[in-house]
Structures are given as structure tokens and as C-alpha cells.
Amino acid sequence: MKISLSPRSSKGFTLIELIIVIGILATLASIAYPTYMSIQTNAARTAAKKVCTDIVSAVESFKQDNNGMLPYNTEMVEPDDKDQMHLTTLGGEDADMIKVLTNRESDDAERRLNSTRDIYLRSDEQEQPREGLYVDASGELSFYDPWGKPYYIVLCEEDEGAIDPFTSRRYRGKNCLVYSTGPDQEGKPAAPTPTKHTGKQPKGKKARQAAAEAAAEAAELAEEALEDNVYSWKNQK
């Protein structure tokens, strides 16, 4: 019987095979990642949409239970020229509205608006300022969307209803509108900035054409900024 003294060889990956496998995995990951991110974004938009409508429902329920009174501190915010109150859900900028709706007001009886201590808006408290209630080191309560930004609120005490801050459409019968600026964290109403003209200005047909082009460009930029906003008063795209 012959006995081989040479070590037994074990078959493994060669360098070329390893490079090919890594390349295949990288290709699959590059294909799957956009799909994964799209799913994540859609899930976040759905969650933000629900919170927007939950805030509106909470405001309406509070109003019904308190003889038409809205849940905010009138000493902390001034209405604009259309009698609209613009708030965010940041502590100190929401006129204590989130504290009122979540029954987290001070026990000072003279300041408490939620006298029945009902919880109109429910949300878990988070350890980070993201997707829910968050209490900072100073004790201020804020409410954040899935992208770490506050929600924006339009309140109106008048029966005519709140006004869409982007289209100026009035929603009769609604005293509250809520929106999130979405994944790009932009899309708030922007005041037009005046441009300084120098040199000779076009006149007649050229002037009208230039004005039309400028208006179209401004409209396109505005649409891009608003396209991923999430609204309580609109269906998601």
C-alpha cells in the first residue's frame, strides 16, 4: 500500500473569483439601495401624513369640548393681516399648543387651558429630537416629524376657515391646517426677493417675454420646493 506524504490540497476561492463575487454583491446592493430608500421615504411620508391629520383632529376635538376655543396661548402669538396664526411645533413657538393637546401644561390653574386634562394628541416621547415628542434639557416640549423638523400649523379663529399658505385657498369649516416640509426639509412659503436691475432694460415685446420667463422660472422653483411637502389638507401624490 502506497502512503502519500504530500499534504492534501483544499479547494478555495481564487483572487479572481473573490473579486467577481464582490463585484456581483456591489451591483446587487446598488440596485437594491434606491428601492430600499424609496420604501423608507414613503413610510416616513405616510407617518407624517398621519400626524398632520392627528393634530388637526386633536384641535377640532379640543374646540368641540371647550365651547369653540382653540388650544393655544393667545398672549404668545399674533395673528397676521388675514387673522391667521402661524405656529411650529417647536417648544416656545407653538404657543403651548402641544402641551395643551398632550395634557402636559403646568398645574397653574390660571394658565391651564386643558381644564379637563384630556389627552387629545398621543405620541411617545423620544430620546432624540425626531419623529415624536421630545423634551430638551430646559424642559421645553417639541414635536418633530420623521426628518427631525417641526410641523407647521395654521390656525384661524374665524368661521371663514384657515388659508393654505402656499395657494391662498381658504378651507371653509377648517380652523386648523398642518404640514411637514418633507424629506428635503424645505418648502416653506418664501417671500419674493427684489432684484436690482442695472443697465438698459428691455421694452415692449422683449420685456413681456422676459417677465414671462422669470415668472415661469419662479413657479418651477416653487413647485420643486413644495413637491415633497406633506399636508393635512391634501392627498399625497
Question: 128 — phi, psi (to 5°)?
Answer: -125, 155
Structural domain count of the chain: 1
Name the band, by pLDDT with cuts 50, 70 and 90, for residue 39.
Answer: confident
Q: The domain containing residue 120 runs over which residues? A: 39-189+222-231
Residues 147-204 have pLDDT tens digits of: 999 999 999 988 789 999 988 899 998 999 999 999 887 777 654 444 444 555 666 6
Residue 198 lies inside a defined structural domain of this protein: no
Q: What is the average pLDDT score of the chain?
A: 82
The answer to the question of residue 22 being in a domain is no
**Any domain includes 73:** yes
- Which residue matches cell numbers 387629545? 120
Residue 162 lies in a domain: yes
- The answer to the question of residue 205 being in a domain is no
What is the model's pLDDT at position 75? Answer: 87
Residue among 120, 185, 101 at smallest CA distance from 146: 185
What is the rounded CA–CA span in Å between residue 206 and residue 209?
A: 5
Q: What confidence score (pLDDT) does residue 161 get? A: 92
Residue 94: HSE in the Cβ half-sphere, 13 Å Cα cutoff: 25
Q: Which pTM does this prediction carry?
A: 0.74
Tell me, what's the pLDDT at 92? 86
Instruction: Evaluate whether residue 116 is within a structural domain.
Output: yes
Cell numbers of 141, please? 416640549
Evaluate whether 45 touches 236 at the Cβ level (below 8 Å): yes
Question: For residue 43, is it within any domain?
Answer: yes
Q: What is the pLDDT of residue 231?
A: 93
SS3 sequence, 126-151? CCCCCCEEEECCCCCEEEECCCCCEC
